[in-house]
Chains A and B, each alone.
Chain A
Amino acid sequence: MLLDLGRIFGRSKRSKDVAKERLKLVLIHDRANVSPQFLEMLKSEIIKVITNYMDVDESALEIQLTKTKSDDGQGVVPALYANIPIRNIRKSGK
């Protein structure tokens, strides 16, 4: 009963939901077999290409593997998420 009250007021999340969420995330990495070094390499390559066209805030650049709904809306598929703050778009490109 106490637990239920906690849930009504949105205080505690059921531990099994926490387990499921953590598992889903860890499995995305396991299945993709992606190491932190791999992500770092990818990040530096992306910066290299993008800076040819625009001025970005490299220190605030965020890149991670996450999940998203598949096109058919049935399952979950891995997705590459990149948040790249732009300082200034170069007018003519290079």
Chain B
Amino acid sequence: MSEVIVITSGKGGVGKTTSTANIGTGLALSGCKTVLIDTDIGLRNLDVVMGLENRIVYDLVDVAEGTCRVKQALIKDKRFDGLYLIPAAQTRDKTAVKPSQMIKLCEELREEFDYILIDCPAGIEQGFKNAIAAADRAIVITTPEVSAVRDADRIIGLLEANEIRNPKLLVNRLRADMVRRGDMMSIDDIIDILAIGLIGVIPDDEKIVVSTNRGEPAICDSKSVAGQAFRNVVRRIKGEDVPFISFNEDQGFMLKLKKLLGLKAN
């Protein structure tokens, strides 16, 4: 059975494209035939993050308009077995594709692929509507910042209004040291506010920049902590129960002191 998963966030720059690249590569590495669709028409980037920018001939708009067959627009990633990309068009805008065309495309892709990952553009306009049109499930990305969490809340509301039930949250760029100091919202804080299930926590990791520079997803880097976190996300998507690493804040000086003096039970 194949699944269409949209990766969305509302706010820009929180890591939708990077997450799509990593999760998609991880799914392919785990033996699932996967296609990534970049729906950010006019501002395409999944191709460069994946290092496939030199292989584009046809794009999403060509497929939607029937200029080419779906097969012709599929770029095969030669490094990973079973991984394909349909890039966005760069010289058009979001109105070049309609939700009905996305549904038709995904129906066709479902016959051949286990997972269809849709990289959603920022915003809640036409591009968002296209991206979610065919989705069975949604992963909402946020960072532990007020603006990103606020936008995630709006997106969760819109997904539910469009009958995409039970979206899952991916918290990106978490700084455990800042959470410990009480200078960054913890996972529990964010879950408390958004009230949805968690699918992953990606720690802030310099290696993401390095891997994006090279066009090689960090999930392949065994030393990258973000890569490890993405591998866990992939396992959870496939239905495995993978425990979360705790990134909670310190209990505070007084509480520690009281514990030390035996005034408070653990």
Residues on A lying within 8 angstroms of B by beta carbon are 1, 3-5, 7-8, 14-17, 19-20, 22-24, 26-27, 30-31, 75
Return the contact of B146 from the options A3, A19, A31 (Cβ within 8 A).
A19
Q: State in angstroms the CA–CA spacing of A4 and B253 once bound together.
A: 6
Known pairs A19-B185, A23-B193; list 11 more (Cβ under 8 Å): A4-B253, A5-B253, A8-B253, A15-B182, A16-B186, A16-B189, A20-B185, A27-B150, A27-B153, A30-B150, A31-B157
Number of A-B contacts (CB under 8 A): 49
Contacts of B178-198 to chain A: CB distance below 8 A: 179, 181-186, 189, 192-193, 195
Chain B interface mostly: helix
Residues of chain B lying within 8 A (CB to CB) of residue A17: 182
| Chain B residues close to A by CB (< 8 Å) | 145-146, 149-150, 153-154, 157, 179, 181-186, 189, 192-193, 195, 249, 252-254
Residue in B182, B186, B193 with the greatest tally of chain A CB atoms within 10 Å: B182
CB of B189 within 8 A of CB of A8, answer no
Instruction: Name the A residues within 8 Å of B184 (CB-CB).
Output: 16
Question: In the complex, which residue of chain B has the Cβ closest to the Cβ of A75?
Answer: B195
Q: 9 tightest CB-CB pairs across the interface, nearest first?
A: A14-B182, A4-B253, A16-B185, A15-B183, A19-B146, A16-B182, A20-B189, A23-B146, A27-B153
